[in-house]
Amino acid sequence: MECSFLVQERKLVRSLARESMELPVFHLAVGRGCPVQCAWCSGGILAQRTISGRKEVIFRKIDDVLQIIREAISHGYEVFQICFDPYPQRHEYFLKLFPRIREEKLPMECRFEAFGLPTIALIKSFKETFPGSTFCIILKPDVGSEQVRRIHQGYAFANQTLMACLEQLNRFRIPCHLTFTTGVPFETEEDISKTIRFQKEIQHRYPMVKKIHHVTFEIEPGSPWHLYPEAYGVQTSLKNFMDFYHHSSERKDGPPLSGILDSQLLSGGRKCQGL
Ligand code: SF4
């Protein structure tokens, strides 16, 4: 019989791993495609047409998704990340999937990456389905300036609408992570300051915002930044397949970015990351 101290210790380690998000995460692909196009993305509608010839969004059958979840659980996965939300205002698919997960009592946690802002119906169903300690919804304002957001995002939302959504996540006690970036084309130093102020306001007002990630975007092949760099004022050496191949191979020791940021913006980035 196992010593109870060891069992307790293992539980503690597991719970710390959950908290620090170190548990292995299963990336649950429930579909492919996107009906809009963000400036940086090679998964948007234009890029998908170029790369895979895909003209429309496809969802996997719910029964197939459930089978994948069962199999992943049988291999020890507990945390599932869904990064597929092509219709942020029409969540019928997830409103069918989540009740099936509840019916089967599948022991899983979920991190849901929203492409826009989640509807109330999704928020309620999500909370009902994943009542554990490591579930969360990830929102991507990317920048504090609405104007810059409108230029770059396919599903740009207003800051007020984001705040209203964060109110709902607070109300339903759903942990939320936000992601931001710095150094996108047409972003000024004042915009970066705006992003910092916006992040501080959010941290102050919404306790369910558990993490604010600050990431740097790279140029993805087939994205508008890559295909039409002049339109975005972007200078890049990444033009063809071999450029991306070498860039990816050298990344470990090379610069963190794709060479689109000037020193002024880099210092702005450091300012944000230091929050
Ligand atoms: S919403 Fe934007 S970032 Fe997300 S998949 Fe569509 S184009 Fe890419």
Q: So what's the pLDDT on residue 134?
A: 72
Output phi, psi for 57, to 5 deg.
Answer: -75, 140
pLDDT for residue 131 is more than 90:
no
Q: So what's the pLDDT on residue 217?
A: 87
pLDDT for residue 200 is more than 90:
yes
Radius of gyration of the chain (CA): 20
> What is the C-alpha to C-alpha distance for residues 127 and 121, in angstroms, rounded to an integer?
10
- The minimum-distance atom of ligand 1 relative to the CA of 41 is 8
CA 224 / ligand 1 centre spacing (Å): 12
CA 94 / ligand 1 centre spacing (Å): 18
CA 233 / ligand 1 centre spacing (Å): 21
> What is the C-alpha to C-alpha distance for residues 216 and 138, in angstroms, rounded to an integer?
17
Residue whose CB lies within 8 A of the most ligand 1 atoms, among 112, 115, 149, 226, for a mutation test: 115
Q: So what's the pLDDT on residue 15?
A: 54
Percent of the chain with pLDDT over 90: 70
Residue with tokens 């209203």: 164
CA angle 86, 150, 121 (to 5 degrees): 40
- Per domain, the residue ranges of the chain are 22-273
Is residue 57 within 6 Å of ligand 1 at its C-beta?
no
Q: Quick check: 272 and 191 in contact, CB under 8 A?
A: no
Is residue 33 within 6 Å of ligand 1 at its C-beta?
no
- The minimum-distance atom of ligand 1 relative to the CA of 116 is 1
Joined together, the tokens standing for residue 156 give 């740009």
102-124, pLDDT tens digit by residue?
999 999 999 999 999 999 999 99
Q: So what's the pLDDT on residue 75?
A: 94
Is residue 154 within 6 Å of ligand 1 at its C-beta?
yes
pTM of this structure? 0.83
> What is the C-alpha to C-alpha distance for residues 22 and 7, in angstroms, rounded to an integer?
19
Residue 265's nearest CA partner among 144, 149, 182 is 182
150-168, pLDDT tens digit by residue?
999 999 999 999 999 999 9
Q: What is the mean pLDDT of the chain?
A: 85
Q: Out of 80-84, 94-98, 232-236, pick the least confident.
A: 232-236
Is residue 43 within 6 Å of ligand 1 at its C-beta?
yes
pLDDT for residue 94 is more than 90:
yes
> What is the C-alpha to C-alpha distance for residues 273 and 223, in angstroms, rounded to an integer?
25
25-78, pLDDT tens digit by residue?
999 999 999 999 999 999 999 988 988 898 899 999 999 999 999 999 999 999
Question: Could you write out the three-class secondary structure of the chain?
Answer: CCCHHHHHHHHHHHHHHHHCCCCCEEECCCEECCCCCCCCCCCCHHHHHHHHCCCCCEECCHHHHHHHHHHHHHCCCCEEEECCCCCCCCCHHHHHHHHHHHHHCCCCEEEEECCCCCCHHHHHHHHHHCCCCCCEEEEEEECCCHHHHHHHCCCCCCHHHHHHHHHHHHHCCCCEEEEEECCCCCCCHHHHHHHHHHHHHHHHHCCCEEEEEEECCCCCCCCHHHHCHHHHCCCCCCCCHHHHHHHHHHCCCCCCCCCCCCHHHHHHHHHHHCC
Q: So what's the pLDDT on residue 23?
A: 75
Residue 42's nearest CA partner among 242, 188, 225 is 225
Residue whose CB lies within 8 A of the most ligand 1 atoms, among 38, 49, 220, for a mutation test: 38
pLDDT confidence bin for 273, thresholds 50/70/90: very low
Is residue 176 within 6 Å of ligand 1 at its C-beta?
no
Q: So what's the pLDDT on residue 250?
A: 73
What mean pLDDT comes out for the span 82-107?
96
pLDDT for residue 251 is more than 50:
yes
pLDDT for residue 81 is more than 80:
yes
CA 43 / ligand 1 centre spacing (Å): 6
Q: Length of the chain, please?
A: 275
pLDDT for residue 195 is more than 50:
yes
Is residue 181 within 6 Å of ligand 1 at its C-beta?
no
Most confidently predicted of 52-56, 172-176, 235-239, 254-258:
172-176
pLDDT for residue 262 is more than 50:
no
Output phi, psi for 177, to 5 deg.
Answer: -115, 145
Fold that domain 22-273 belongs to in CATH: TIM Barrel (3.20.20)
pLDDT confidence bin for 216, thresholds 50/70/90: confident
CA 44 / ligand 1 centre spacing (Å): 5
